Amino acid sequence: MGEEGTEGTVHLLCLAASSGVPLFCRSSRGGAPARQQLPFSVIGSLNGVHMFGQNLEVQLSSARTEDTTVVWKSFHDSITLIVLSSEAGTSELRLERLLQMVFGAMVLLVGLEELTNISNIERLKKELRASYGLIDSLLGDSELIGDLTHCVDCVVPPEGSLLQPLSRTQEALSGFAEAAGTNFASLVVSGRVVVATESWWRLGTPEAVLLPWLVGSLPPQAARDYPVYLPHGSPTVPHRLLTLTLLPSLELCLVCGPRPPLSQLDPQLLERWWQPMLDPLRACLPLGPRALPAGFPLHTDILGLLLLHLELKRCLFTVEPSGDKGDGEPAGGSWAPEGLSVTIFLSLPDPSPEHRRCVLRSFYTLVTAVHFPPEPGHQEDKAEDAAQQPQVPKACYLVSGTEEPGTGWRLVALQSGPRQLLLLLSAQSPIHGLRGLATRTLHALTPLL
């Protein structure tokens, strides 16, 4: 299995679809922003071959060379996005979802009307500069995974679960939102949602993913009043994103209309609702990279996990699980032959958090593209699929690395109802116990998400 995001370059091109004029080019290398630009001749050729296909009523969506993957996508017959990636193991699925999030980021900060009715190219170029920071963070090596899963990155607050929001923090958030005159409020730690109001959770894709991602990508600031459009809910009428820093890396976010002014959110209002909550709020600070409350029992073999709730569009993602190493139970259980077994021998480096994230992201693209199909389409498509594929996989696993003790990985994915669980396990975990371990872990995590 390839290791997405390692020592590769990603180029993102944005062009006006009708004229082919480049609007911007952003690049990253090794997960960090880069100044490297593509020659205009290459940009013209990439856009030309796409337009040539369209003239012949042929949709060119992707192509591969020996060391590069290219994906094209047009939006509203007005904007063409092209992404080139030389990262090892990059899939078309990952790049296509990246382009969807990039266009969503452009709409979020510029508005759909400016992108679909282009009257002044130079003015649009200047306006799009406001989206560069968010776009660069989508191209980079982030600790989040919502760009790939299109689910909201969440953390589980210490005092409750994401499915049982009747907590002191939730009550304080709802009360503050009502006092501020808005229904859309959330607490965000390091770009992940801790708690949110009911209306916030009903935000559509991609704004539900992009709003906390935007907050996490901005430089620290005590307060902000940020104009935003909602790509799904209000792509042409701007709203305001208000943020207030309660504690370092923990921000209160509000989406509202012209009122209230930021000055109305005075210290007395903050003190009334949040001063009694300082201890619970401080307990949320370590949840950024960990996602789970301290002391949550996880098997010691688990090096990383991704839990998705496909109906709620929320996910938990961590490569720094919080389980006490003394509480792990031995890996056991039996493995039925219905799963898919793939054995690949690779020499892998030390399991740094960055590398664990790359492995889990690559495993997610593999199981989504090959084994666990995305959301079903139309009823006739589902009937046809059912006739052609009567057995839908419920689990799969992958073993990478040599079989020598202490090397390699174990990866297992389990699908149960609306939930999917992906685990990255140490090489010491026996293969015959993978499904049993994953089943017990999913059972323990189900009350949380």
Task: Provide the residue-wise pLDDT of the chain in tens; the chain has 449 residues.
Answer: 545 545 689 999 999 998 889 999 999 988 788 887 888 888 889 988 888 887 788 888 999 988 899 999 999 999 999 999 998 878 899 999 999 999 999 999 999 999 999 989 999 999 999 999 999 999 988 899 999 999 999 999 887 666 555 578 888 999 999 988 899 999 999 999 999 999 999 999 999 999 999 999 999 899 999 999 999 999 999 999 999 999 998 999 999 998 888 887 777 788 888 888 888 888 888 888 889 887 888 999 999 999 999 999 999 999 988 544 333 333 333 333 334 434 333 334 447 888 899 999 999 999 998 888 765 444 444 445 545 555 778 899 998 875 565 567 899 999 999 999 999 998 888 888 999 999 999 999 999 88
Looking only at the bridges linking them, the beta strands covering 62-64 and 152-153 are unpaired
The CA distance from 312 to 113, in Å, is 29
The CA distance from 286 to 132, in Å, is 29
Looking only at the bridges linking them, the beta strands covering 79-85 and 409-416 are unpaired
**Residues whose CB is less than 8 angstroms from the CB of residue 443 and which lie 6 or more positions away in sequence, other chains included:** none
86, part of any domain = yes
381, part of any domain = no
User: Do 69 and 185 reside in the same domain of the chain?
Assistant: no
User: Do 268 and 356 reside in the same domain of the chain?
Assistant: no
User: Do 236 and 132 reside in the same domain of the chain?
Assistant: no
Which pLDDT score, from 0 to 100, does residue 89 have?
77
4, part of any domain = no
User: Do 104 and 157 reside in the same domain of the chain?
Assistant: no
User: Do 185 and 268 reside in the same domain of the chain?
Assistant: yes
- For the chain, report the end-to-end CA distance as a whole number of angstroms: 29
Q: Can you give the CATH number for the domain in which 361 is found? A: 3.30.450
User: Do 349 and 273 reside in the same domain of the chain?
Assistant: no
User: Do 251 and 347 reside in the same domain of the chain?
Assistant: no
30, part of any domain = yes
Which helix (H) or strand (E) covers residue 11, if one does?
Answer: strand 9-16
- The alpha helices in 132-291, defined as continuous H runs, are 132-139, 146-149, 168-180, 198-201, 207-217, 267-274, 278-284, 287-290
The pTM (predicted TM-score) of the whole model is 0.87
CB 128 within 8 A of CB 12: no
Q: How many domains does the chain have?
A: 3
User: Do 46 and 86 reside in the same domain of the chain?
Assistant: yes
Amino acid at 132: Y
The CA distance from 145 to 449, in Å, is 16
Which pLDDT score, from 0 to 100, does residue 276 have?
87
The CA distance from 146 to 137, in Å, is 12
Angle between helices 267-274 and 168-180 (to 10 degrees): 160
Which pLDDT score, from 0 to 100, does residue 321 have?
83
Strands (E), 30-179: 32-34, 62-64, 69-75, 79-85, 152-153
**Tokens representing residue 117 in the block:** 């009715």
Which pLDDT score, from 0 to 100, does residue 192 have?
95
Query: Radius of gyration (Cα) for the chain, nearest Å?
Result: 23
User: Do 190 and 267 reside in the same domain of the chain?
Assistant: yes
Which pLDDT score, from 0 to 100, does residue 244 have?
92
Which pLDDT score, from 0 to 100, does residue 322 have?
55
User: Do 125 and 31 reside in the same domain of the chain?
Assistant: yes
The CA distance from 201 to 35, in Å, is 37
User: Do 111 and 46 reside in the same domain of the chain?
Assistant: yes
Which pLDDT score, from 0 to 100, does residue 341 have?
39
382, part of any domain = no
The CA distance from 17 to 124, in Å, is 14
The domain boundary residue, chosen from 141, 170, 195: 141
67, part of any domain = yes
User: Do 269 and 368 reside in the same domain of the chain?
Assistant: no
230, part of any domain = yes
The CA distance from 158 to 285, in Å, is 10
Which pLDDT score, from 0 to 100, does residue 167 have?
77
The domain boundary residue, chosen from 247, 270, 290: 290
Q: Residue 58: which domain range? A: 9-141
Partners of 27 in beta bridges: 11, 34
Q: Can you give the CATH number for the domain in which 127 is found? A: 3.30.450.60
The domain boundary residue, chosen from 257, 290, 323: 290
